[in-house]
Structures are given as C-alpha cells and as structure tokens.
C-alpha cells in the first residue's frame, strides 16, 4: 500500500532528533544579515521554544528567565506563548522573531498570572495600542493579573534589580479565551482545554492534537520544586491525570519535556506528579501520627532535596497542602493513606 507522504517529519523519533538540532533547520525566511543568537529549539516545524539554560530559581544570573518562551511561526505571522519576565526579555523575543523567522508577533498568550510568564507583554504594548497584536488569556488569569501584577512586578524587581526590569510595566490581556475555543494559525490548531486549578486557580492548557504538543503553564516542572502557594495539591494531581489521558508527546510547562518512547509520558509530567503525590502522602501521614500544623514547614521529602528551590519552597508547599488536606483528614479520620496512581507507565 502506498503510504501517505509525511507532510512534516513529526512523530516521536523526529521530535527527539529535532530537539538536538538547535539551528540546522532555520527557516529560509530569516534575513541574511540576521545575527540573532537566541537558542531556539525546534519542537516541530514552525514551533520553537527558548528554554531556560538550567532549571533554577529566579535570580540575577538568569534575569528571571526560568520558564520557556514558545513561538509558532506561519509565513510572516507569529504567536508567542509566555513572553517572559520583563520588557527586555520580550524585546529579545520580538527582535528574534523578526530577524530569525522574518515574522511579526500577532498574538501573545499568557498561560497564567505569574510574573515570569507575563511581564514580557510590556515589549509589545505599542503593537497592542496600534491594533496589530492581541494578548490572550483566560478570564481568571486576566483578573489575577489586574489584581496582583503590580505586586509581582515590585517583587521581581526587588529580586533582579532595576536594570533587567527597566521599563517593564503591566500590560493586561486584550481578549479573553473561552474553553473549547480553537486558535488557528496556518496548519496549527491550539485547542483551549478546560481551565485547571492546580498551580494557580486559572491554569490555561493549549493542545495541538496533530503534533501531540501540550502547553500546560505551570503544571509541569523539571528539576525544580513545584510552587503550590496559590494552588491546590488535589486540583493539581487531578489536572495531571487529565493531562496524562491525552498522551502528549511533548509538554511545555515550567520546562520542556519530551516522551522518550512512543508510548511513554514526558518524564517531567511523571516526576511532577510524583512529587505532589509524595507531598500529599507525607502530610496525611504526619497528621496520622499526631503532628500539628505548625510542624508542617519541617516536613521533609529527601528524594527531592536536589531540586532547585527545595530549601525555599518545601516548607511552604507542606503548609499549603496541610491547610487543604486537614478538612479531608478530619472527615476521614486516621487511616492508611491510599497509594497514588502511577501514571508514568
Ligand atoms: Zn507559575
């Protein structure tokens, strides 16, 4: 039987190979004199991601670049997902998209209302004002940005210094995304999945089914401790179970993670879920043996001490999980903790 010619080199082995080919598939549209050095990595033809150099906490050495920025390019139009922590970062993205890909950014998507994801909107304020660009987010994220972004900007500036945050200001989304909406750009289809309440109370998920690419905002971390402060441990676990059911080949969250085998899940999805399940079990076990809420911040999970942010966040995560789980434990009473499902195989 004659096989259909592959329109793109996509299924799984090609993605794994593409991730190792940082610059060998540059688009012909790039300008000949372009000296752009941003380390875009190909996730699929036309889909590029600029990941952080290492999994780390926000600090002066990374200028706040701790989450990946994605660009999807079709012809001379581009869509950016999470433009980064500052105007400076957003400007680097904007210039690179023009120089390297010969395109203009027409759409920006903010996955959730955290400073390192959304403050890069500031680099596009002029294009927004001229009606040449839309900034998209769900209603919860827009409301949270309006309420909290000023504090987030002040906090990030205090951590990074004035120079990397220069001229960064709050630019709110201009259009609200609805669940089930499908964003179309050339051959790409980004479906807006139901809003999750795990990492925040308004986690946006975007699913490209043909490529099996999933953007999950803050729901998947690499070797860095997940941040639960504004989230829900049970909501997060449920969200990751729904994500797993999609069988994504690549997830882009706080890190980029690619399945290593055709029938496996991206490893960061599995390890993030395992951390949350271990945190949940440890908190319930502490309640079972009579520990008190004020002892939660000393609840250790030794398997994760090598992850970035462990020292800063493990105690806070345990306190947050304690507050959430205490009513459940009181309802249930002391007893064996049910083992979490293993979604990794
Ligand atoms: Zn986040």
> How far is ligand 1, taken at its centre, from the CA of residue 228, in Å?
9
pLDDT surpasses 70 at 23:
no
The answer to whether the CB of 204 falls within 8 A of the CB of 217 is yes
Please state the rounded mean pLDDT for residues 252-273.
96
> How far is ligand 1, taken at its centre, from the CA of residue 203, in Å?
9
Tell me the pairing of strands 69-74 and 77-81. Answer: antiparallel
> How far is ligand 1, taken at its centre, from the CA of residue 123, in Å?
20
Structurally, at CATH architecture level, domain 12-192 sits in: 4-Layer Sandwich (3.60)
CA separation for the pair 114, 96 (Å, rounded): 23
> How far is ligand 1, taken at its centre, from the CA of residue 66, in Å?
10
> How far is ligand 1, taken at its centre, from the CA of residue 176, in Å?
19
Length of the chain (residues): 345
pLDDT surpasses 90 at 183:
yes
What pLDDT is recorded for position 332? 82
What pLDDT is recorded for position 55? 87
Q: Predicted confidence band at 336 (pLDDT cuts at 50, 70, 90)? A: low
> How far is ligand 1, taken at its centre, from the CA of residue 110, in Å?
11
What pLDDT is recorded for position 30? 55
What pLDDT is recorded for position 123? 98
> How far is ligand 1, taken at its centre, from the CA of residue 149, in Å?
13
Q: Which residues keep their CB under 5 angstroms from ion ligand 1?
A: 114, 218
> How far is ligand 1, taken at its centre, from the CA of residue 25, in Å?
31
> How far is ligand 1, taken at its centre, from the CA of residue 217, in Å?
7
How many CA atoms, within 13 angstroms, populate the side-chain half-sphere of residue 249? 18
Within 10 A of 43 (CB to CB), how many other CB atoms are there? 24
Q: What is the DSSP letter of 224?
A: B
Quick one: which of 177, 63, 201 has its CA closest to 120? 63
pLDDT surpasses 50 at 287:
yes
> How far is ligand 1, taken at its centre, from the CA of residue 292, in Å?
29
CA separation for the pair 152, 113 (Å, rounded): 9
> How far is ligand 1, taken at its centre, from the CA of residue 86, in Å?
15
> How far is ligand 1, taken at its centre, from the CA of residue 5, in Å?
40
The answer to whether the CB of 275 falls within 8 A of the CB of 301 is yes
Q: Mean pLDDT, the chain, as a whole number?
A: 90
Look at the block and give the residue holding tokens 């949940």. Answer: 280
Angle 19-135-22 from CA coordinates, rounded to 5°: 15
Please state the rounded mean pLDDT for residues 283-291.
94
In this predicted model, what pLDDT tens digit does every residue of 83-123 receive, in sequence order?
Answer: 999 999 999 999 999 999 999 999 999 999 999 999 999 99
pLDDT surpasses 80 at 337:
no
The answer to whether the CB of 199 falls within 8 A of the CB of 217 is yes
> How far is ligand 1, taken at its centre, from the CA of residue 221, in Å?
10
> How far is ligand 1, taken at its centre, from the CA of residue 131, in Å?
28
**3-state percent breakdown (helix, strand, coil) of the chain, nearest 5:** 35, 15, 45
The more confidently predicted of residues 11 and 101 is 101
In this predicted model, what pLDDT tens digit does every residue of 195-254 receive, in sequence order?
Answer: 999 999 999 999 999 999 999 999 999 999 999 999 999 999 999 999 999 999 999 999
- Reading the block at residue 207, the tokens are 């699913």
Of 4-18, 88-102, 215-229, 296-310, the poorest mean pLDDT is in 4-18
Q: What is the DSSP letter of 333?
A: -
């Amino acid at each position: 039987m004659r096989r259909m010619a592959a329109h793109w080199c996509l299924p799984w082995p090609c993605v794994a190979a593409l991730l190792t080919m940082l610059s060998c598939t540059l688009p012909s549209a790039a300008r000949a004199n372009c000296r752009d050095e941003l380390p875009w990595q190909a996730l699929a033809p036309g889909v590029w991601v600029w990941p952080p150099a290492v999994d780390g906490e926000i600090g002066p050495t990374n200028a706040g670049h701790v989450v990946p920025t994605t660009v999807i390019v079709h012809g001379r139009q581009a869509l950016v997902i999470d433009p980064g922590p500052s105007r400076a970062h957003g400007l680097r993205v904007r210039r690179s998209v023009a120089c390297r890909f010969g395109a203009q950014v027409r759409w920006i998507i903010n996955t959730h209302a955290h400073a390192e994801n959304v403050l890069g909107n500031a680099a596009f304020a002029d294009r927004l004002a001229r009606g040449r660009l839309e900034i998209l987010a769900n209603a919860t994220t827009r409301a949270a940005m309006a309420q909290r972004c000023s504090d987030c900007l002040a906090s990030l500036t205090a951590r990074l210094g004035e120079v990397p945050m220069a001229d960064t200001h709050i630019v709110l989304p201009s259009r609200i995304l609805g669940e089930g909406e499908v964003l179309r750009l050339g051959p790409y289809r980004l479906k807006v999945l139901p809003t999750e309440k795990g990492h925040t109370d308004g986690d946006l998920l975007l699913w490209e089914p043909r490529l099996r690419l999933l953007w999950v905002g803050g729901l998947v971390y690499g070797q860095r401790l997940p941040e639960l402060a504004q989230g829900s441990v049970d909501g997060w676990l449920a969200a990751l179970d729904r994500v797993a059911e999609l069988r994504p080949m690549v997830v882009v969250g706080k890190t980029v993670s690619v399945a290593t085998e055709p029938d496996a899940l991206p490893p960061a999805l599995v390890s993030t879920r395992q951390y949350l399940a271990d945190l949940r079990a440890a908190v319930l076990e502490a309640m079972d043996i009579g520990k008190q809420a004020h002892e939660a911040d000393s609840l250790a999970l030794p398997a994760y001490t090598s992850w970035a942010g462990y020292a800063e966040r493990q105690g806070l995560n345990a306190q947050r999980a304690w507050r959430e789980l205490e009513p459940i434990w009181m309802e249930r009473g002391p007893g064996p903790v049910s083992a979490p499902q293993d979604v990794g195989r």
